[in-house]
Structure 1
Amino acid sequence: MARQGSSSAPSLLPPRVFPSTGFDLIDRSEKIEEERLPFYNRDDYYPMRIGEVVNKHYQVVAKLGYGTSSTVWLCRDLRGGKYWVLKVHVNTLEHIQELEIYKHLSTVPEEHIGRGYIRDLKDSFDISGHHGKTHKVFIMTPLGMSLRSFQEMQKDHVFVPDLVKSALRQVLMGLNYLHASQVIHTDRFEKDLHSDNLLIAITDESIFSRVEEDEAQAPSARKQADNGAYIYVSRYMMGGAGALTIGDLGQARLGVSGLKGPAMPTPYRAPEVILNMEWGAAVDMWSVALVAWDLLETEGPFRIYSHDNQEQNDAQHLAAMTALLGPPPREFLLRSKDTAKYWDENGRFPSSCLTRLVLLLT
């Protein structure tokens, strides 16, 4: 992970002046972008403005996205004109796991072919926002839209098999690098690998200046909050079809085995997570399989069966897995006493378990 720094400050390009009029102003009663996220708190986010110069030389030229813990912006480095992405974190994060993961990966030899399929971090620094609260900022290479956004543009919202095969090869190479580096993408905080954090690399870098020019000529729609801050509508950025890149290591963790506890969104949980077994890097492989399904089919193989009864939901989830994949192998059954609730030692549903399952489902 490179660090910025020089004994003599380079001359800076003059910052661009962006329009203060000519954009659609969205009604304050309408929720947009990050406002729609659960537990959103406006004061947690940095009040970024397009045209603002951050850390003395990064001028923000467009908003690219948002999430529960950050907003993402395209910026131009006034020290030479190169474009970067600013990932600006909310001010409530006491510990940024993603930074620790990147620090660890910076110590791993770079020869692994899969390294090129993981988003890189170039630099990080702090800025002050509301009430003097600190926001950690990442400087990253710009990437294009997510695979999920691209999928939404396809007919019937599915991809052809050959494209999915190519995508999976790249994802597996990236995961192989992470696992070889003792990093697992999925963690216990309801995160997993999905098409929204698989980003398409840019091959035509002229798209960056075009996005900036578009923002100058046709400013993004925005909403002004009560505190005067703006919430901007994000722009898509697609400049060629480069490598598929795994992003969002915000809940990744060191160690690829011996983990316990909750993990993954409910419909995407691996069986070992449902059954309270120790889990590890294999859950990333489970996520890859579900990504493949989601890219090829209009409906997922599993869903939330009961919002009110976790035991019933688990029983239905495991029954659906068994119907789709067949009975689990004996070595899997021996990993947890909880498997006896659903299968006998041969992986079959015994009559007592079927009776229990019927009772749960009625």
Structure 2
Amino acid sequence: MASPKDSKNPVALLPPREFPSSGFEVIDPSQMVEEEQLPFYNHQDYYPMRIGEVIKDCYQVVAKLGYGTSSTLYWVIKVHVNTLKYNQELKVFQHLAGVTMEHSGRANIRQLKDSFQLKSCNGIHDVFVMTPLGMSLRTLQEMQKDSIFQQILVTRALDQVLIGVNFLHEADVIHTDLHSDNLLIAITNDSILAKVEDDEIRKPSARKQVNGNIIYVSRYMLGGAGPLIISDLGQARIGNKHAGNAMPIPYRAPEVILNMEWGDAVDIWSIGLLAWDLLERESLFRIYDSKSEEQNDAYHLATMTALLGPPPPEFLNRSEETSKYWDKDGRWNGPVPLPTEKTLQCLAKSLEGDDKDNFLSFVQCLLCWLPEERLTAGQAYYHPWLRGKNLSAGGD
């Protein structure tokens, strides 16, 4: 973890704490643990971090809080793999640091406190130091009854997401990876962090040792009662026009699937799906055939057609690939059947009456074939469903 004192602050640093060298569960070397279960895991790519290690003379590692394909998170220290030759997330953080406009949404974006590099025997690792955050919105959702939130919690969460995304878009950044795993709840009480540190001393984390490297089991941290923070900018893009693959498969916007040019409206599509996933039990788009990308694309687009209606000619003319799925008039002729039983109206089951109508209106304003017809983040913030107005009563 980072020392309580800022590395750039001349105030004396706290002395490092001693951590137990015994008393922990030793995991069998043959058992796959955490990052070892990732499909492309290579132990030589990861920095051999040790709990208790002091880094850069001012940070001490006190607990492991997670891992990923490109990094392992040790509390607020994110240590990237050494195969990351171009660190897009660092580039985005540096870009945002140069944005001088005042915007309330900046507070809903994760901030980079410090960055440096560590050298291991296998290469160079980029290291981020960031403010500690609590659990993800997805983790909190899994703790709810039926894994869905009450409407008031969803609208409050979306308010913060839209303000944060509005800042990113104003700053010329497209996130491309918005979902509940990347929305973290800020911590308002530092005692939570002190408890994690003390727990590591009182009951050390289970671990295994392979080829001289130690792999720790992450320490789960509850807590967080502050604002939502949009995190993980590793897939973000700078600029307003892009091409090529992007977004998690179930959240991909139609223009991405069909290899069209795309812009910040892909984030709006993601927010529409996020709203649905926070409130409804059944996701709109699932991975139907993980072994065949072409078949999965067909099922994905067929479901979009069933839910949204046929795409307009203007959309069809933007990519030659549309001819695989629709005729020139927008009629479906793809390689999989159209799921005619699916409609947004019948799938929305959590709300009733005006609440349901307003919610569906909100989703339909974000899930549009044409990106330019989707509401912007700023416009979506003022939608009647979020502002507590009744559409049928003339709200706008």
Task: Go from structure 1 to structure 2 and tell me whether the alpha carbon gap of 1:13 and 1:265 turns closer, same or farther (over 3 Å shift).
Answer: closer
Structure 2 unaligned spans of 5+: 1-5, 339-396
Which residue pairs with 1:248 in the alignment? Answer: 232
Sequence identity percentage:
65
Is 1:156 matched up with 2:146? yes
Q: Deviation string for 1:7-61 (max 9, x for gaps)?
A: xx65332211111111111111111111111101111111111111111121111
CA distance in 2, matches of 1:357, 1:37: 31
Q: Deviation string for 1:77-124 (max 9, x for gaps)?
A: xxxxxxxx1111111111111111111111112411110010000111
CA distance in 2, matches of 1:115, 1:108: 10
Q: Which deviates more from structure 2 when the two are superposed, residues 236-245 or residues 46-55?
A: 236-245
Name the SS of the counterpart of 1:193 in structure 2: coil
CA contact (8 A) 1:202 1:238 kept: no
Which residue pairs with 1:94 in the alignment? Answer: 85
Q: CA RMSD in A?
A: 2.1
Name the SS of the counterpart of 1:62 in structure 2: coil
The amino acid across from 2:180 in the alignment is S
Which residue pairs with 2:108 in the alignment? Answer: 117
Q: How far did residue 309 of structure 1 move?
A: 4.3
Task: Go from structure 1 to structure 2 and tell me whether the alpha carbon gap of 1:255 and 1:212 turns closer, same or farther (over 3 Å shift).
Answer: same
TM-score, reference length from structure 2: 0.79
Which residue pairs with 2:16 in the alignment? Answer: 15
CA distance in 2, matches of 1:109, 1:161: 35
CA distance in 1, matches of 2:14, 2:98: 34
The amino acid across from 1:71 in the alignment is T
Which residue pairs with 1:82 in the alignment? Answer: none
TM-score, reference length from structure 1: 0.86
Which residue pairs with 1:343 in the alignment? Answer: 326
What is the aligned residue count?
Answer: 333
Q: Which deviates more from structure 2 when the two are superposed, residues 266-275 or residues 171-180?
A: 266-275
Q: How far did residue 345 of structure 1 move?
A: 4.8
CA distance in 2, matches of 1:338, 1:234: 44
CA distance in 2, matches of 1:88, 1:314: 34
Which residue pairs with 2:209 in the alignment? Answer: 224
CA contact (8 A) 2:35 2:68 kept: yes
CA distance in 1, matches of 2:77, 2:99: 24
Which residue pairs with 1:52 in the alignment? Answer: 53
CA distance in 2, matches of 1:176, 1:293: 20
CA contact (8 A) 2:174 2:238 kept: yes
Which residue pairs with 2:30 in the alignment? Answer: 29
Structure 1 unaligned spans of 5+: 75-84, 187-191
Given the alignment, which residue of 235, 254, 262 partners 1:271?
254
The amino acid across from 2:61 in the alignment is V
Which residue pairs with 1:176 in the alignment? Answer: 166
CA distance in 1, matches of 2:149, 2:277: 9
Q: How far did residue 4 of structure 1 move?
A: 5.0
Structure 1 segment 301-316 matched on structure 2, within 5 A:
301-316=284-299
The amino acid across from 2:14 in the alignment is L
